[in-house]
Chain A
């Protein structure tokens, strides 16, 4: 019995220590953002890898999410003779929830996993040690630019997801199912308020932070083997998905 309690205690201590290390890692990455040199070129490079390189997958998932919303929304609303509310339902759903969450999932799969794998393999091949030995702090060089790039890219990608999603639903609702274009956009205009856009923006910024933070941390702490890099990559993706959903719930409950 005592050994079971000890086992639970050890495991819990390890988890708490792990969480503490993750937060210290984040603090350190933020602190380095305010110390010279400012690595503008690296930040722009990572905005490209996180933002531009994820664009196609975000566009594709955005348009199909919108189309499904249009289809489902239309048939659900028709039961109450409320098809004219389709635009409002789609816009609110996308701006407040689906846009930030689904685009964050896409970026995690497309770029976050690559981030963890790249940093993990840099650790295994001693490239991180090489940075230390050249008196360059790897957190400042590898993590801080990715963190800033994540904060900048994610809201932009989410905005693109929202717009193509709204047009995807328009295509199905107005183009195929006959909802009037005026009621689609008119309903949207009357029901969407600034707070809806703001809450989506805040969520996307925090998701950008979660993705860069978790994926860099997991890569940085990857075990020293090829399987270790794979394991770190998988863990980073799973943890991002879970944290995004949990954080989404808390943010939603605060902002509603």
Chain B
């Protein structure tokens, strides 16, 4: 269970998060939606302490990760996998080496076992035989899938997805969503997705939270969220320019 408690974060005096409270249930996929610049990625980056809050806490298995020392923080981070918006594959390595990287760095597995595990993950994300390519030689969709394979390879308990379908066409976007759902069924991780891909992302979400004006405006199971009468949720889902959410 991840619990975000009264999280505040400002950049250069501009408040982005103004007291976020959120509970992310174990084994469920929670999607965080909200307008551009509402602070979704900032919130996501707090969950594994890539950013530290000005105040508030983030409890992972009841431990406040904002107060951990370097070693304990690194141990905690090994519970997480992250799929970054642009996949963030290391340019200097092939796709195979990118996926093998966390295993080589953080486990004592032999090279043969690593090879087997990496090839298995690449096959699961539809990249069988593509491991020899460099990230610059593959499409955006393939990069995302390779990023997903890297996030999955150490079998983390929690995976954070930052805009997993941004920049992809609808078919590729759907295939990435299907892949996330399939991998979730296989591995049972706790997933947190930040996405603009509405309503498609609801198909794979167990719960949805909406971030607006620096706080969680609404959170609940997907069906309940979609039916919410909250005027901010209604305006956002219907894409209305008029309403409680300032558009420009």
B138 within 8 A of A: no
Q: Complex: how many Å from CA A38 to CA B78?
A: 21
Task: Closest A residue to B45 by CB, please name it.
Answer: A129
Residues of B within 8 A of A122 (CB): 90-91
Q: How large is the interface on B (under 10, 10 to 19, 20 to 34, 35 or more residues)?
A: 20 to 34
Q: A129-B45, A129-B84, A130-B84 are in contact. Are A135 and B90 (CB under 8 A)?
A: no
A238 at the interface (CB under 8 A from B): no
What 0/1 readout, one digit per residue, does chain B (67-85) give for beta carbons within 8 Å of chain A? 0000001110110101011
A132 and B101 CA atoms in complex are apart in Å by 13
Q: Residues of A contacting B74 with CB < 8 Å?
A: 135
User: Taking A134-B106, A135-B106, A136-B105 as contacts, is the C-beta distance between A127 and B50 under 8 angstroms?
Assistant: no
Find out whether the CB atom of B102 lies under 8 angstroms from the CB atom of A134.
yes
CB neighbours (8 Å) of A134 from chain B are 77, 101-102, 105-106
- B89: chain A residues within 8 A (beta carbon): 127, 130
A124 — nearest CB in chain B belongs to which residue? B86
Q: Contact at B106–A130, with CB atoms within 8 Å?
A: no
Complex Cα distance, B77 from A135, in Å, reads 6
Bound-state Cα–Cα, A74 to B164, Å: 68
Interface size on A, residues (CB 8 A): 13
CB neighbours of B73 from chain A (8 A)? 135
Near B by CB (< 8 A), chain A positions 112-144 give: 118, 121-122, 125-127, 129-130, 132-136
**Interface residues in chain B, defined as those with a beta carbon under 8 Å from any beta carbon in chain A:** 45, 48, 50, 73-75, 77-78, 80, 82, 84-86, 88-91, 101-102, 105-106
Which 9 interchain pairs have the tightest Cβ spacing? A130-B88, A135-B74, A126-B88, A135-B77, A133-B82, A126-B84, A134-B102, A127-B88, A135-B78
Offer 20 A-B interface pairs, CB within 8 angstroms, sorted by A.
Answer: A125-B88, A125-B91, A126-B86, A127-B88, A127-B89, A127-B91, A129-B50, A129-B84, A130-B84, A130-B88, A133-B50, A133-B77, A133-B80, A133-B82, A134-B101, A134-B102, A134-B105, A135-B75, A135-B78, A135-B106
